[in-house]
Structure 1
Amino acid sequence: MIARPDGGVDWLEQGAPPPEAFGFTEFYSQVETILMGRGTYDVVRRMGDWPYAGKPVRVVTSRELPDAPPGVEAHSGDLPALVAELRQRGLGRIWVEGGGQLLRGLLAIGALDRLEMAVLPIILGEGIRLFPAGTPETRLALRQSRTVGDALHLIYEPA
């Protein structure tokens, strides 16, 4: 699970290593575009200040984004076209920030180059799955693994 049934991620603040323990600052400095689903966008907006100022963000949604922060655009069209457009504009180092549905779509079109994740020592039981039903079977090759406190940091690439 990546979130509680209501999308909440409060459990991340209860004993999870800080993002920098996973090398987040270096990773984020290389990100050219952030891609997220509407559910993730709504959760991040409820958390307070917009954490992605200065980075272009595309939100895959069929609904408008009232009062969106600067640099945030909605995208309701074709996912392969969006990925091609971002790559053509030189914004191809895309970070998919949450969104199992979005990950499923990117896997289906072969647009996921790397899967980086942390396995944290908490079992939510119920909630939003990282890979929802309908995600295509995908073989991965482990490129890196390391422990960070009680967590695992894993990096995979398509095999």
Structure 2
Amino acid sequence: MSSIVVQSFVTLDGVVQGPGGPEEDTEGGFQHGGWQFDYDGDGTIAEWEKKTEALLLGRRTYEIFAGSWGVWPEDADGFQGELTRRYNRIPKYVASRSLTEVGWKNSYLLGPDVPGAVERLRGEPGGEIRVWGSTELIRTLAEHDQIDEYRLLVHPLVLGVGKKLFGDGFPSTRLALVESRSTASGVVINVYRRAAEATTRA
């Protein structure tokens, strides 16, 4: 079995839009891109990404990743090079109603039945299938109870505008907190699993 794991940088008011840079996602006139870079990292993401065996992405996030990780040099120093090599190697599964082809190597369109395709992926041997960004896809996965774990890096910041991870209409979900710690700059790292599974998987 594989696990669907959502990872996200998130503000106190739930915004997940554009953490990686000013031009990453300006939809809706969003002007706060790159807000995540004002806070320290403690190596958590690097450790988590060592477990990533596949990416599961919505169209917009896929295009952002393909235009960055998909073209950056694999011989770059440090974490950027390490993650570029990993992301190029592993399969990328893309949920899209508009794309007819995907150019980043080892990328695959899921087709019209996204929940069905994801359920097949979950049933295959493997490890963690990582979801970044992709708020619409995450909602679809939650509606079909296909998310095994949320890893949220909650930043001490209120933006007041932007796409939210858990927006109005998100399906009711009961989770259990299985890990929590904070960084020196006040980022709280929380890991949640389904309440029924937390005790058996912790």
Q: Given the two structures, how large is their TM-score scaled by the length of structure 2?
A: 0.68
Which range moved further: 44-53 or 124-133? 44-53
The structure with the larger Rg is: 2
Q: Given the two structures, how large is their TM-score scaled by the length of structure 1?
A: 0.84
The structure 1 residue matched to 2:188, chosen from 144, 152, 157, is 152
Q: What secondary structure does 1:24 align onto?
A: helix
Cα RMSD over matched residues?
2.2
Residues 83 and 126 of structure 1: is their aligned pair in 2 closer, same or farther, counting only changes over 3 Å?
same
Q: C-alpha displacement at 1:116, in angstroms? A: 0.7
In 2, distance between residues paired with 1:67 and 1:78?
Answer: 17
1:77-116 map, 5 Å: 77-91=112-126, 93-116=128-151
Q: What secondary structure does 2:89 align onto?
A: coil
In 1, distance between residues paired with 2:94 and 2:105?
Answer: 13
Q: C-alpha displacement at 1:92, in angstroms? A: 5.3
Corresponding residue of 1:25: 46
1:5-20 map, 5 Å: 6=26, 9-13=33-37, 15-18=38-41
Give the unaligned 5+ runs of structure 2: 1-14, 19-24, 73-83, 196-202
Aligned length, in residue pairs: 156
1:41-60 map, 5 Å: 41-47=62-68, 49=71, 51=84, 52-60=87-95
Q: What secondary structure does 1:39 align onto?
A: helix
1:123-150 deviations in whole A, cap 9, x for unaligned? 2221111123321011111111100121
Amino acid in structure 2 at the alignment position of 1:129: K
In 2, distance between residues paired with 1:92 and 1:75?
Answer: 19
* More contact order relative to length (CA 8 Å, sep ≥ 6): 2
1:89-117 deviations in whole A, cap 9, x for unaligned? 42452111111111111111111111111
In 2, distance between residues paired with 1:63 and 1:92?
Answer: 29
Which range moved further: 30-39 or 81-90? 81-90
